[in-house]
Chains A and B, each alone.
Chain A
Amino acid sequence: MAKIKRKGESGAAKNYVTRSAAIRKLQISLADFRRLCILKGIYPRDPLHKKKANKGSTAPTSFYYTKDIQYLLHEPLLDKFREHKAFAKKLARAVGRQEWGLAKNLEDAKPVLRLDHLVKERYPTFTLALQDLQDPLNLVHLFSRLPTNPIPGKTTVPTDAIADCARLISEWKLWAIRTHSLQKVFLGIKGVYYECVVPSNGQDVRVRWLEGYEFQQHVPTDVDFRILLTFVELYRVLLGFTLFKLYNEENLVYPPPLDKALEEKGESVGAYKLVQQSAGIKAGEGSGVSKKAVKRAIHGMATAGVSGEAEEDVDMDEDAAVGEPATEEPTEDFIERPSKDATDDVAPGSLTTYNTIISSSSATASSSNLLFSQYTFYLSREISARTWEFVLRSLGARVISATQMPDPSGSDADANAITHVVIDRPMTEERKRAMENGRKWVWIQPQWVADCVNRGKVLAHDDYAPGKLLPPHLSPWEGDGEMQRPWLDQTTLADGPAAGERPEVEEEEEEEDEEADVDVEEEDSDDDEESTSTPTFPPALLASAQNPTDKTLLHAAELEAESAGTSSSAFQAQLQSAIKSLGTAPARKAAGSGPSGKGKAGEEDLRKIMMTNKKAKLYNKMKYGNAERQAEKDTLETKRLAIEKRKRKEARAAGKA
């Protein structure tokens, strides 16, 4: 006979515990539990049957997976929490009794919380850590710019946490510049989005993050900074380990030494120096190999393998202590800056020190074939150096910011090297000429840089001149669900048609477009009218016209049109006429005509009768979702058409007047 099953002894009742039960089991306070959950990455679950999980009650509760809580029971952090609690009590007692000596002793022996094991546990491989790097980077970027007391009277953010966050993002950006891994930049209304490609074990991981604009952040009062600080605590550790690994792979010393003087001048990324690990892999480089270098080399190999041994730890300490004053190593000022003695012998545009580093590490791509490696950019003073220096440098450009050279109109070597001026305010021609001082500079707005990066090619700069109305800035992550905008592609490509002929083309397109519009209207008014136009359409277009609902066919037709050089509006017009000539109405119209109309639509309806209830519900849901998406697209498209029409009308009116 089978074992008798009792209620509440298996299944959901056993698999889930409520939060209060979990706290009781762990014997900790709610605040500690919250911290533990954040650090360990434990989250509530949504059981399929809440009633079964909660002993028959349907009251709203959060459930945790029982196994998660069981694992928490022997979490070393839990012990540390308790130790800290005892420590806090002892310290308070000593301070209260004014026993300063005892208090100092206690303070010295303060229990330290280490989160290393959590990093390894939550991200067993480096790839996993990279895949989850978006949130850490976002939060650390935010914290790097916070005031110490974001909400007066509430939890203050420790200064060292802010400084550490700032250091981490500087190091991260430094690494991105060094490896030229920046792929995409997007200027949103929330801030600047970046995307980097980070190699890990042969596969590339895309890491995207958001950096707010350089303003004082508005902090609402209901933000609990204790929670944020707990997250930041973990993320700092995670980022530290990630950067260590990334720097090590680049054969660089981590943490990179900080140039205090430069930092005081207001440099963020530029204040750090990249130091080569002395011949870690290429051990037999020369005869002047010092003892320390050998030791470090051995260490470099050891770190790749085992970790966490005491001896090694000591080594690391020594390393850190020795790394900074080490002068015999090939320390190079990675950031190119216009110091007089350094740049005298350096030809403009070629970055010698930079190149030497790159050639020494064979893994990275050569800088010569980067997007901006031929150019030198001058950043005007209203340009955020934090953003654009990073972007431009990681694409191989040389950057001179307004802080380094307040007046670029002079004629020293640096000023002569300038090819582009990034400027975000209107400029008169005279002023430009005065600044150029007989040289030829390209004046651009910052969006040009972002668009170039996203497209992967240098675009024509005419539309981006200072004071001009810019072309729309599109998201590089626009997915399949979003609209394709080939018409924008064509107008902004550098190797597109010359500026002179473009307006004519557009004029033609307009004409055709309008015709198409009229056609559509006609079609709407009388379906029965047979068109007598000669069907001389390309094959893909024909196929698409025969089956107007098929996306892939449409896409193929678009590609065909593009290769043939047809403009998009012309293509649309062609498609419309093709559809008309073939007599196939778009599916939308057919759907609107009701079930009694066409036989085909009626058949669709009838087959649905035979669907099971479950499938029918799913089908309806999917149809609804698709319709919503389609409606969204349609409203955008109609809005676009309306705006274009209005603009044309305005242009025509302006032309007549």
Chain B
Amino acid sequence: MAPRAVQAESSRAAQRKAVPRPAPTAAPAVNGSKKRAAPAPVEEEEEDEGLMNGDQTLEMSDDEVAEGEEEDGNEDDEDFPELDSGSSDGDDEEEDDDEEEDGSESGYNSSDIERMYEDGDEDEEEESPATTPSSSREDLTIDEKLSRMIAKNSVKPDEAIGTDGKISAAKTGKGRVVPSKYVEGSYRREYEEYEAGYGSESSTEDNPNTVGNIPMEWYDDLPHIGYDVNGRKIFRPVKGDELDKFLANVEDPSAWTSVEDKLLQKQVQLTDRELDIIRRLERAENPDKDFNPYQDTIEWFTGKGNERVMPLSAAPEPKRRFVPSKWEHKKVMKIVKAIREGRIIPNKPTAQKPAVYAIWSESDQPHQEHAMYMPAPQLPPPRTAESYNPPEEYVFTEEERKEWEEAEKEDRKTDFMPAKYDALRHVPGYRNLVQERFERCLDLYLAPRTRRVKLNIDPESLIPKLPSPRELRPFPLASVVQYRHPGSTRVRCVSVSPSGEWVASGSEDGVVRLWDLGNGREVWKWDLRGGAVQSVDWSPNAEEAVLVALVEGKVVVLSPLWLVPPAVAAATMEHTNAGFASSAATTKAGAGKEVKGVEAVKWARPGESDRERGVLVTIEVPGTPKQVAWHRKGDYFSTVAVDAANKSVLIHQLSKHATQSPFRKTPGQVQRIQFHPHKPWFFAATQRYVRLYDLAGQTLVRTLQTGARWISSMDVHPGGDNVVVGSYDKKLGWFDMDLGNKPYKTLRYHTKALRSVAFHPTLPLFASASDDGTIHIFHATVYSDLMQNPLIVPLKILRGHRVTEGLGVLEVRWHPQKPWLISSGADGEVRLWCS
């Protein structure tokens, strides 16, 4: 009956699967139209069963009844109470049968096999009713049955799946039946204590805390750590501090075998068994002590008695399974033949190239050197310093030794410390030899290589070849005359009369002084009472003696009438007073044509006393004019006032007493202005650019980009094609306007801001003055040939002005004919430099 037993077990398992079959589908199949539900084999079986077991079919299996409970109303032929009216002795048997049959449908799905066993099955059970545990169930009440039914049907299907091998004791009907404690008059089955193996789930362990697998820190702030099965709080056990813990650890010999139970927050002693598991895990063994990795094979399909009778394939065994390969044999024979004939010698050493041979011949040619080929540099030869017995001066002094030892390894000039030994036998082994060889090897394969051009030239050859200053004489060499101002007031501006006789200087005390050029005697002074004198400039017309001085808000036209020849004085008077005569209203500006925006400019005739002192005209202008520039003919002059917005640049006409504002809107703050020497052009230097305007055509001719941050000074070469621009950022830019808008040369030689630059009107010289107190004299030949660039030769540095409060030389001007230079400084001096 062995197969039967297997059958029974599997069928029971299958039955449990079948139990939760959805009621609506199963019930009509059973109770209603059984025949109509033909396709399902289950129904057929039941039908058969019904046919066979006559009256018993009415009782049906428990599950089917339970399923069909709700549909009782539809069932007319049977009703529920009848169930217990039937023979109760066969009940259990029937149940078993049903179960079996249900199981068979999913187990084998073959009704034939099922039928084969059915009869015997029943017989057996009927024959030995005492053997089954059902004998103890004789006394089950209806309630009990009901509860069993409910229990059975309320099992979740998934729980049963996969447990085919093991059948719970409940199903086999083991255990005692005892009266139920909870339900009055009912019984329950009690089973023997089952020892949970380590394969069992952890849920079987009794855990007083029911909070589950949560982070226990959620309870950190609470007095309790969870709830027991009855919903009562489990309070946090008393925990000692670290010292207690330590003492406990020290005193308790078993402390090291305990672990903390997070859930209950207390130390739990590990059992021997658990310790054993840990030990096994440490040794990377199977944690289960009883696990036998070398279990005997259970022969299911092989071995004695298990032989398969029926073959899996009916195909006859192919020949190749038992006949040696012909082709293999042929191949082997071929080799054997070759060996016999000596064509193949087994284990013959292969013909090797010799280790060395003539790899180079006379005809070798080196590779064409690739541009990217960079051979490693050779190690330099050892110097005398490396000698074991160098001359004494090579040996380090105490300081050198210290310096060498303190320096980083990479910074040292030599990788060794020179040493002197009396005899060769005293020389010790060199400690770093292996290290140095190793580093060399690292350099060879790891150090990035790059090609560096090593210039083997004399550094002096880099200095440009220029003519000697001696050949370029005359130029100013030394300070000859000094014009001292009282009180060491700063002399902002200086100018030389076109005749070259007089020097006018304007100082910060508001006085314009007139000096005799030759002997430095102060011959006249005008106190303008308008703050610092910003700028003075003589008219270039040598037949007149007109001097323009600028103070805050005012342009003053001066003339030393009694110092000049009478003809000159007369011409001057006529020129300056012509405007008063032509325009009756001497006070109004814009005599020629009304220019918008110059209403604020007022030409005024000073009082009688002033006129006697030589103050001829005053012009009131907006802002503080900073610079005045004369047109070459001596009738027009222009002033620039940085703070006068769009009226910063003004062009005044002395003969007509008229003022024009050439720009409706000035681009940036105009710093410096200059008339072109022979064209109707006008230079205006803003902070960064120099703009050249055509006054006649009213157009912008070009913009020079100086590259300077803030232009301080500008001068135009008498030829008109070259401009020098000095800036506060210590640079001097030379523009050749034939070459473009960028500087032809930018020179940086002053250590402080440039204040003034000036071209000599006739000689090829120019000078620059700076806050560092020096004046640099340059030779500057401008060739008429367009192909030749200007020649600039530095000639001389003139030192003499003292630097006071960060200011040095403020302005330089050339003598109109001679190579003499006049400079004014912040130290209250004006100097004449002569060759």
Interface residues of A (CB under 8 A from B): 34, 37-38, 41-46, 62-63, 65, 67, 108, 114, 116, 119-120, 123-129, 132, 134-135, 138-139, 142, 150, 186-191, 193, 201, 208, 210, 212-213, 215-220, 223-224, 227-228, 231, 240-241, 243-245, 248, 254-255, 303-305, 307-308, 310, 312-314, 316-317, 320, 382, 424-425, 445-447, 469-470, 472-475, 477-479, 482, 485, 488, 595-596, 602-604, 606-611, 615, 618-619, 622-623, 626, 636-637, 639-640, 643
Contact = CB atoms under 8 A, between A and B. Distances in A.
Interface of B: 347, 351-362, 364-367, 372, 374-376, 378-379, 381-384, 386-394, 397, 416, 418-419, 421-425, 427-438, 440-442, 444-450, 455, 459, 462-464, 466, 468-469, 745, 747, 749, 776, 792-797, 799
Contacts of A472: 384, 387, 389-392
Chain B interface SS verdict (over half): loop
Contacts of B356: 240-241, 243-244, 254-255
Nearest to A615: B462
A64 B109 CA distance: 73
Interface-central residue, A34, A220, A425, by most chain B CB under 10 Å: A220
Nearest to A247: B356
Contacts of A615: 462
A276 B246 CA distance: 88
A602 B372 contact: no
A45 B446 CA distance: 9
A67 B372 CA distance: 10
Contacts of A447: 389, 424
A114 B353 contact: yes
A223 B438 contact: yes
Contact of A220 (B419, B434, B450): B434
A488 B384 CA distance: 13
Nearest to B353: A313
16 contacts: A45-B449, A67-B372, A108-B347, A123-B360, A188-B386, A212-B433, A215-B429, A218-B429, A223-B434, A231-B444, A240-B355, A240-B356, A241-B359, A475-B383, A475-B386, A610-B466
Contacts of A626: 459
Contact of B441 (A120, A217, A227): A227
B789 to A, nearest CB: 12
A623 B460 CA distance: 9
A596 B468 CA distance: 18
A128 B387 CA distance: 30
Given A218-B431, A636-B393, 17 more contacts: A62-B448, A186-B387, A187-B387, A189-B419, A189-B427, A212-B433, A219-B434, A223-B435, A240-B355, A240-B356, A241-B359, A310-B351, A313-B352, A424-B423, A447-B424, A472-B384, A482-B383
Contacts of B466: 607, 610
Contacts of A255: 356
Contacts, number: 279
Contacts of A479: 381
B360 A308 contact: no
Contact of A640 (B391, B441, B469): B391
Nearest to A425: B425
A597 to B, nearest CB: 12
Contacts of B386: 186, 188-190, 475
A129 B360 contact: yes
A641 to B, nearest CB: 9
Contacts of B416: 189-190
A43 B468 CA distance: 52
B797 A606 contact: yes
Contacts of B441: 38, 139, 227-228, 231
A218 B434 contact: yes
A142 B359 contact: no
B528 to A, nearest CB: 39
Interface-central residue, B423, B442, B444, B796, by most chain A CB under 10 Å: B423
Contacts of B358: 244-245, 248, 303-304, 307
A243 B365 CA distance: 20
Contacts of A128: 366
A477 B387 CA distance: 11
Given A189-B416, A603-B469, A245 B448 contact: no
Given A67-B372, A447-B424, A135 B450 contact: no
B749 A609 contact: yes
Contacts of B355: 240
B379 A126 contact: no
A513 to B, nearest CB: 16
A320 B459 contact: no
Nearest to B430: A190
B448 A212 contact: no
B365 A608 contact: no
A488 B390 CA distance: 12
Contact of B387 (A38, A41, A43, A188): A188
Contact of B365 (A125, A186, A213, A308): A125
A643 B393 contact: yes
Given A134-B378, A307-B359, A44 B448 contact: yes
A568 to B, nearest CB: 14
Contact of B430 (A62, A191, A227, A317): A191
A129 B359 CA distance: 11
Given A218-B429, A307-B359, A478-B383, A188 B388 contact: yes
A116 B353 CA distance: 10
A637 B392 CA distance: 11
A470 B448 contact: no
A619 B389 contact: no
A228 B445 CA distance: 11
Given A125-B366, A474-B384, A619-B462, A116 B425 contact: no
A43 B382 CA distance: 26
A191 B434 contact: no
Contact of A643 (B372, B389, B392): B392
A193 B389 contact: no
B351 A313 contact: yes
B362 A304 contact: yes
A227 B439 CA distance: 11
Given A308-B353, A475-B383, A643-B393, A446 B437 contact: no
B754 to A, nearest CB: 14
Contact of B376 (A43, A127, A213, A218): A43
Given A124-B365, A220-B435, A610 B794 contact: yes
A622 B453 CA distance: 13
A482 B397 CA distance: 20
Contacts of A639: 392-393, 397
B365 A445 contact: no
A610 B464 contact: yes
B447 A44 contact: yes
A444 to B, nearest CB: 12
Contacts of B436: 190
A142 B422 contact: no
Nearest to B413: A632
A102 to B, nearest CB: 15
Contacts of A227: 438, 441-442, 445
B816 to A, nearest CB: 26
Interface-central residue, B364, B433, B446, by most chain A CB under 10 Å: B433
A424 B424 contact: yes
A615 B464 CA distance: 10
A116 B438 contact: no
A571 to B, nearest CB: 19
B372 A474 contact: no
Nearest to A639: B393
Contacts of A139: 437, 441
Contact of B359 (A116, A606, A607, A610): A116
Contacts of B440: 135, 138
Given A307-B359, A470-B389, A472-B389, A603 B468 contact: yes
Given A43-B444, A134-B378, A619 B425 contact: no
Contacts of A425: 423, 425
A52 B194 CA distance: 76
